[in-house]
Structure 1
Amino acid sequence: MRFQPALDKIPAYEAGKPIELVVREYGISPEKVLKLASNENPYGVSPKVSEVIKEAVYKMPLYPDDSYKALKDALAKTHGVDAKNVIQGNGSDQIFDFATRSVLNPGDKILQNGKTFSMYSIYAGQCGAETIQTSSELHDLNQFLDLYKKHSPKIIFICTPCNPIGDALDKSDLYTFLQKISSDTMVVLDAAYMEFGKTRDLRKEVQAADVISKFPNVLYTNTFSKIYGLGGMRIGYGIASEEMIRAFYKLRPPFNVSQLSQLAAATALSDREFVENYLKENLKEMVRYENFAKKKGLFYFESYANFITIKLDQAKLDSTQTFDTLLKEGIILRNLKSYGLNALRITIGRPEQNDRVLERLSELL
């Protein structure tokens, strides 16, 4: 059987190790496995979400309302936009898929940061497009602009705050950059960690309504997997001009978000107290990791997300070996060797979870 030639150049996405794998391969009981690898919410979901899902189990045999009116109205209200500016996705990944397939042809190019979410280039590759990336670890908008002028990419992907590094752009710098980009170039602004970023520094906040009104070529995306704790429900969304959303709807499969997922998402938006408590705890525990790294003489990236990336070069440790050692003990972190970094990315957990990680890392160091 012959497959598309473009697939030969595309790596499969490698997700964080699941708890089930550790239980299965190392014989560790599930309650002793600690997973801080995928930037999930360590506090779970809002109690309001749990209750509404219990009450809605009877809807499981039914297809969802394919207009997704309740969810889109809730998102529109939250972000101060019209429902016509919103599209739901099976995770924000599906929105990236819509974006790439809507404009890319074989031979086209996308532009992204040197260290960023790998699915941008994977979706672009599926369209036969080439990925151009900066040489910097952090977002360097001067490099972006130079490469933009040289390569004329059809899409620019900007992840702020950025996964897997955690850096975030000031809104003023981002807007100055966007003013120099042609309206014919789509700019995808991946804001999966925006709530965390603005909590640490308001200069990092980019509001969907504001950016799409000023720059109609911008697609603002976000997810319910991080701050709302709905990773298992697979739901994200995009906010953009009506023209862009209409184009995406021609690519969207029917019923692309499940009945219970849209209900959970709309309910999660209503519980700000749950979100604010998590943001407060995340920042407090983040400081513990920063202080640990400083004390041990390790380099870390200042993070505006719900994770921290710590390099192991100064400790003369190999991230793969360290990752494997911890994995066998039931501690799942994220090894960033595949990103070209001798580093571990650690999701900020609950205090008692962080106690365990910090104690074990201290022993290894």
Structure 2
Amino acid sequence: MKFNKKLENIDTYEAGKPIELVVREFGIEPKDIIKLASNENPYGCSINVQHAVTEIVPNMAMYPDDSMMKLKEGLSERFDVAEENLIIGSGSDQVIEFLMHAKADENSKILINSVTFAMYEIYAKHVGAEIIKTASQEHNLDEFYALYKEKNPDIIFLCTPNNPTGDAIDAAAIMEFLAKIDSDTLVVVDGAYMEYAQYKDQSKSVSPKELIEKFDNVIYLGTFSKAYGLGGMRVGYGISDARIIKELYKLRPPFNVTTLSLEAASTALKDEEFVNECIALNFEEMKRYEEFANKQKLDIIESYTNFVTLCFCDNIDSTQLSDELLRRGMIVRNLSGYGMNAIRVTVGTKEQNDRFFELVQELL
């Protein structure tokens, strides 16, 4: 059987190893496994979300509200944008897929950071586009601009804070960069971890409203999978000029977000107190990772997210360390596939982090 030739050079995206697989592979009890690999909120979602979802379970025979009115109204109020500036996806990565198919083809060029969210490259390969990468590990906008002038890309992806490194770009620098980009080049500002960045440092806080008021070629992406604790519900969104949103809707399948997911996201959006509590705890625990890294003489990238990236010297192999942690029931993300001798670790609860420190110190 023949398949689309574009698939030949695409690697399957590998999500963080699930707890169920570790149970089967190593015979470890589920209660003894700690997953710090996928940047989920370790405190889960708010009790209000749980109650709201439970209440609508009897309505599961009905299709979701495809207008997504309730969630759009909430996002419109939160960001002070019009509903026609919004599109909702099954995770923000679905919106990335829409963007790629709306703007790019085999004659297009896509500019991304050398180390960043893998789905940018995978979706670019879906349409056969050429992928251009910076040399720098962290976002360097001067380098981005030089490559933009040289290569004339059709889409530019800025992931801030960046996954999997955790660094963030100053909002003012992003605005200066966008002012130099022509209006036919689509710029994607992926703010999946923005709630964490703006809590830690307001200079990193990107305003979607300001973006789309000043530039009609920019789309901002957000998600409910991180700070809001709804990774299992798969809800993301894009905020952009109405003309761009209209084109994306031509690619959106009907009922692409479930009834449960829409209700969960709509309720979570109202519970700012819970989200802020989770973010505050995250940065309290992150200080312990910084202290641990200093004590163990490990390099740690300053993070504006809910994860940390620990980089190793040649005498420590990230793959071997990740495997040994896995055998002990600790799931982290090995970054060797990104060309880094490093691991990415979700900042967990105090107890989860205690166990991580204990195991890594033992192994080192």
TM-score class, shorter-chain normalisation, is over 0.9
Alignment of 1:277-296 (within 5 A): 277-296=277-296
Aligned length: 364
1:310 partner SS: strand
Identity %: 52
The answer as to 2:305 corresponding to 1:342 is no
- Match in the other structure for 1:47: 47
- Match in the other structure for 1:133: 133
Alpha-carbon distance in 2 for matches of 1:246, 1:200: 34
Alignment of 1:65-104 (within 5 A): 65-104=65-104
Q: CA deviation at 1:360?
A: 1.0
- Match in the other structure for 1:244: 244
Using structure 1 for the length normalisation, give the TM-score: 0.99
Alpha-carbon distance in 1 for matches of 2:175, 2:34: 40
- Unaligned runs of 5+ residues in structure 1 are none
2:290 partner SS: helix
- Unaligned runs of 5+ residues in structure 2 are none
- Match in the other structure for 2:7: 7
Partner amino acid for 1:264?
Answer: A
Alpha-carbon distance in 1 for matches of 2:18, 2:304: 25
Q: State the Cα deviation string for residues 279-316 of structure 1 (Å, max 9, x = none).
A: 100011011101111111111110000000001216x1
- Match in the other structure for 1:227: 227
Q: State the Cα deviation string for residues 219-241 of structure 1 (Å, max 9, x = none).
A: 10011000011111111010001
Partner amino acid for 1:339?
Answer: Y
- Match in the other structure for 2:332: 333
1:313 partner SS: coil
Partner amino acid for 1:13?
Answer: Y
Q: State the Cα deviation string for residues 9-29 of structure 1 (Å, max 9, x = none).
A: 111101110000011111111
- Match in the other structure for 1:193: 193
Alpha-carbon distance in 1 for matches of 2:78, 2:199: 17
Alpha-carbon distance in 1 for matches of 2:307, 2:246: 35
- Match in the other structure for 1:318: 317
Alpha-carbon distance in 1 for matches of 2:58, 2:237: 25
1:81 partner SS: coil
Alpha-carbon distance in 2 for matches of 1:364, 1:32: 18
Aligned alpha-carbon RMSD (Å): 0.8
- Match in the other structure for 2:203: 203
Partner amino acid for 1:331?
Answer: M
Q: State the Cα deviation string for residues 117-138 of structure 1 (Å, max 9, x = none).
A: 0000111110110110101100
Alignment of 1:25-44 (within 5 A): 25-44=25-44
1:56 partner SS: helix
- Match in the other structure for 1:109: 109
Alpha-carbon distance in 2 for matches of 1:80, 1:283: 28
Q: CA deviation at 1:364?
A: 1.4
2:156 partner SS: strand
- Match in the other structure for 2:174: 174
Q: CA deviation at 1:107?
A: 2.3
Alpha-carbon distance in 2 for matches of 1:3, 1:185: 31
1:233 partner SS: coil
- Match in the other structure for 2:145: 145
Partner amino acid for 1:352?
Answer: E
Alpha-carbon distance in 1 for matches of 2:54, 2:103: 41
1:146 partner SS: helix
Alpha-carbon distance in 2 for matches of 1:91, 1:350: 24
Q: State the Cα deviation string for residues 297-349 of structure 1 (Å, max 9, x = none).
A: 111110000000001216x1111111010101110000000000010100000
Q: CA deviation at 1:362?
A: 1.2
Q: CA deviation at 1:102?
A: 0.4
Alpha-carbon distance in 2 for matches of 1:55, 1:108: 47
Using structure 2 for the length normalisation, give the TM-score: 0.99
